[in-house]
Copies of this chain bind each other. A is one copy, B any other.
Amino acid sequence: MKQYYFEDLEPGTNESVKNIVTAELIKAFADVSGDNNPLHLDQDYAATTRFGKRIAHGALTSSFISAVLGTRIPGLGTVYVSQSVTFLAPVYIGAEITTTAKVIRRDKVKNRVTLETTCMVDDKKVAEGEAVVFVPSRPSFEE
């Protein structure tokens, strides 16, 4: 678990996580969320759609953004303020998603940091958006 303090987060600072989307992970996400739409769970139904086969929930992809923010950048101490995400392409079973959060600006009054959040499968961007998080300042030890 990493911890960047507010002062450590310069524009451009970034971290990534990688996740492989398995059928088991999609089923687990459906169970946690309650989203049992057959586009994600039923191969026969999915074959009748524009996608041709089962796809991951967009919100599963979004959950990896939570992971990169909560465990890598800023990591410990992060408080999630807001997130936007646009889903650009379907994510199929077996895909490896690389999710990256990169600092784009800081608000020194509120100790908030805005990060660009991007999810890639190979060279294809499957989701993009922005996160805003509250980040604690580095403690000062004055005695």
Contact = CB atoms under 8 A, between A and B. Distances in A.
Interface string A58-75: 111011111101110001
A37 interface: yes
Contacts of A79: 39, 50
B82 A83 contact: no
Interface residues of A, number: 43
B19 A71 contact: no
Contacts of A1: 36-38
A45 B59 CA distance: 27
6 contacts: A25-B32, A36-B71, A59-B63, A59-B65, A82-B84, A82-B87
Contacts of A29: 32, 63
Contacts of A87: 80-82
A75 B35 CA distance: 10
